[in-house]
Amino acid sequence: MARKGENIYRRKDGRWEGRYIADRAKDGRARYRSVYAKSYSQVKQKLQEAKEMVQKEHRIQNLPEAEKPFSEFLYRWLDYIRPRIKESSYVKYVNLIELHIDQEIGAVPLGRLNTEMIDEFINTMLTGKEGMEPLAAKTVTDILGVVRNVIRYINTRYQRLDCDLSQITIKKEESRMRILSREEEEQLIRYLMEYPSPMNCGIFLTLFTGLRIGELCALTWGDIHLREKEVYIQKTMQRIQNKQPTSTRPSQKRMQDQEKEKRTRIIITPPKSRKSIRHIPIPDGVAQILEGYQRYGNEYLLTGKTNSFVEPRTLQYHFKKILQKSRIQEANYHALRHTFATRCIELGFDIKSLSEILGHASVNITLNRYVHPSMEMKRDNMEKLSELIAG
């Protein structure tokens, strides 16, 4: 028998059922849903929670912004953050929104966006679907970060959304960076010494300072102080997509590379973080090699010219050619940075000094990302335990 006024019933199977109005059809007819429990008190509590949730959703869906698509707020957020972030970060966010977020959930009315919907969207990005390959965990993590920021922006400026993303997590992919062995490092040094050039001098500098590729490409002789034997890192170079509209149509006679240049451009900006602006001491041997190429002022290290530079992808290509000629297994340019960090640990550098040389925001980044003890180093450390047996 139903409890009076509560719409709660005892079913034939012994369970209690509570019914409530979930929403209404266009003609005004009520649409019911049910909750179930083993006791009256349990189903009454569930029914109350369900009714409160419906009321909350009803309030959200009837706010002034509720029927506007999520897409509109994605681009409002982009306009809001653009003056506050680096241009490269802005381009990255635009791509994540245009290629993934807007296509999948951009059409959803703001009032109907909820935690479950976003969780399902993130899972689709990770697992893929028909016609779409799964995305890398790092990319999906970046996508989730953008969604979180946009929802935070909406919550503080427009209306509170029923979106709690704190429990949505993404398992990080374990990746191990390639490191040159000591033999490979010696082969590379021999090649660089045998075939001297400004670009090879730059690679040599990276091997003994751990510079990022963009930092090296942006380095000018005004940043290199041979008397003090130090390098001052204050800028980085990168190629980004050109997201600003052009006012003129390209000529039909332009070459394909010129057309590509129109879609992307080189920028030189301060490094990725405040900690990345740093002075790096250079060893005597490296300083002596740099002296052979010394210029002054705004001449780029890799070209010796003020009006000509080497961009990161060109240096990467040059580096891979060197590895082929030196018969060294293929490696990304960033492997030089990992190799430098690992050699420093092997030689007994303290972590704090190494972290500052690398320009990391914290010592933990240095330990977790860049320090890869070799088997030889592990063996040497384990052998120290033999002293306990001898004693």
**CATH number of the domain within which 267 lies:** 1.10.443.10
Q: Report if residue 104 sits inside a domain.
A: yes
Q: Are residues 211 and 283 in the same domain?
A: yes
The ranges of the chain with pLDDT < 50 are 62, 245-256, 258
Q: Are residues 207 and 278 in the same domain?
A: yes
For residue 298, what are the CA distances in angstroms to 90, 279, 286, 301? 28, 18, 21, 9
Q: Other CB atoms closer than 10 Å to residue 260's CB: what's the count?
A: 10
Domain end call among 141, 157, 173: 157
Q: Report if residue 249 sits inside a domain.
A: no
The Cα 322–Cα 185 span in angstroms is 12
Q: Report if residue 162 sits inside a domain.
A: no
> In the prediction, which pLDDT does 247 show?
34
Q: Are residues 234 and 332 in the same domain?
A: yes
> In the prediction, which pLDDT does 390 show?
59
> In the prediction, which pLDDT does 162 show?
76
Q: Tell the residue number behind the tokens 């400026």, with chain if given.
A: 157
Who contacts 362 (Cβ-Cβ below 8 Å, separation ≥6)?
A: 355
Q: Are residues 105 and 230 in the same domain?
A: no
Q: Report if residue 234 sits inside a domain.
A: yes
The Cα 86–Cα 75 span in angstroms is 17
> In the prediction, which pLDDT does 177 show?
79
Nearest to 201 by CA among 304, 73, 280: 304
- Reported as a single tens digit per residue, the pLDDT across 278-325 is 999 999 999 999 999 988 889 999 999 999 999 999 999 999 999 999
> In the prediction, which pLDDT does 26 show?
62
Q: Are residues 133 and 86 in the same domain?
A: yes
Contact at 8 Å (CB) between 221 and 297?
yes
The Cα 152–Cα 130 span in angstroms is 31
> In the prediction, which pLDDT does 158 show?
79
Q: Report if residue 283 sits inside a domain.
A: yes
Q: Report if residue 34 sits inside a domain.
A: yes
Contact at 8 Å (CB) between 85 and 269?
no
Q: Are residues 118 and 56 in the same domain?
A: no
Q: Are residues 53 and 74 in the same domain?
A: no
> In the prediction, which pLDDT does 52 show?
77
Q: Report if residue 282 sits inside a domain.
A: yes
Q: Are residues 91 and 202 in the same domain?
A: no
What residue numbers bound the domain in which 304 lies? 182-241+261-379
> In the prediction, which pLDDT does 221 show?
96
